[in-house]
Structure 1
Amino acid sequence: MTIQYAILGLLSWQSFAGYDLKKIISDSELFYWSGSNNQIYRTLVQLHEDGLVSQEVQEQENLPARKIYTLTEKGRAELHEWLLTTPELPERHNAFLIQLAWADALSAADLAALVERYAGEVETHLLLLQEKVRRWLYPARSNREDFLWRQINENLIAHDRLELEWAQSLRAGLAEMGEQP
């Protein structure tokens, strides 16, 4: 999936300026792109050239003009067509697993500390994610849309919970092996 469809989806809610899109993308766990200005603005220019979004320049007093982007009918059709495609399987990129693959080279104390740090990072991320989800507002235009967004957020939280349980199990397994300092 490209950032193009995330932007089309966000614009299906309402019109946004590039800055607003950047903020939404960078504040959300769902959108895994960096949300850098270059990436977003480059995509918006391409979407505009392709006729998938329109833009309106809004003048602002004492500030630079803002470009407000709106989804066109062609953009809505493109988003709909993408929604009907076969979903991709989730990507699994966990650098800690690669680190762990060669962690036998560490002393028991260093390995225990590594696992402890990872569990702590996951736990902190889980708490931050739960707070973000609690505060994040999305347009609940229908009961079904509200349900879908609650399920998306639950999936993100469940992933972190499972990762934390796994890290705690790893820590307990090492302790049973006498690997704790």
Structure 2
Amino acid sequence: MSINYAILGILSYKSMTGYDIKKVIQNSTFLYWSGNNNQVYKSLTELLNKGLVTNVVKHQEGSPTKKIYIISGEGLAALKEWMLSPSEPIEIKKPFLVQLAWSKQLNTDELNMMLDGYENQVRIQLLMEENQKQNPNILFNKSTPVETIIWSFINDNIRREYENELRWIQDLRKAIADITDERR
């Protein structure tokens, strides 16, 4: 999926500056791009050149000039066409699994230390997700009941991913402990 569609989606809610778009992406759990300036502004330039967004320059006294980006009718049509196209298959990219795959190099204490570190990271992410749910992004006002449910389920999907990862870690710990017990 291209960051362009994420930007079009964001702009379909509210016109905003490139900086504001960058902050939305950086603060999101499921918009997985880094949201660095190069990515966002390169995409905005591309969307502008294709006529999918327009911009308005807002001069401010005593502050830098702002470019506010607005999704165009063509941009809304492109976003809708993309939403109706077949979804890409699930990508599983977990750097921890790559580390774990080579863990035969570690003794039991080191392996447990590695699992502890990963488990702590997952717990922190879960807490951050729960905190974000307590303080929803006011940028996106849910205007319809369906929209409210969809955003609730997006948050639920993310929360379940973290909870499932914690259960998986516990299962792995138990399996390792069982093997260690059998060797004694």
Same fold (TM over 0.5): yes
CA-CA distance at 1:129 after TM superposition: 1.6
The number of residues matched between the two structures is 179
Contact 1:7 1:21 (8 Å CA) reproduced: yes
**1:55-96 superposed Cα distances (whole Å, 9 cap, x missing partner):** 000011111110011111111111111011001122111111
Q: Following superposition of structure 1 onto structure 2, how do residues 1-181 of structure 1 map, counting pairs within 5 Å?
A: 1-137=1-137, 138-178=140-180
Q: Which amino acid aligns with 1:42?
A: K
Q: Residue 116 of structure 1 contacts residue 171 of structure 1 at CA under 8 Å; is this kept in 2?
A: no
- Within 1, Cα distance between the matches of 2:13 and 2:116? 42
CA distance in 2, matches of 1:88, 1:3: 14
Alpha-carbon offset, residue 178 of structure 1: 2.4
Compute the displacement of 1:172 (Å).
1.8
What per-residue deviation string (whole Å, max 9, x for no partner) do you get for residues 30-60 of structure 1? 1000000111111111111111111000011
Give the superposition deviation at 1:140: 0.5
Aligned equivalents of 2:15 and 2:118: distance in 1?
40
Q: How does the TM-score come out when normalised to structure 1?
A: 0.95
Identity %: 39
In structure 1, what is the Cα distance between the partners aligned to 2:174 and 2:128? 25
Q: Quick one: which amino acid aligns to residue 119 of structure 1?
A: E
Quick check: 15-24 or 128-137, which moved more? 128-137
Contact 1:52 1:73 in 2 (8 A): yes
RMSD between aligned alpha carbons?
A: 1.2
**How far is the alpha carbon of 1:169 from its aligned partner?**
1.3
Structure 2 unaligned runs (5+)? none
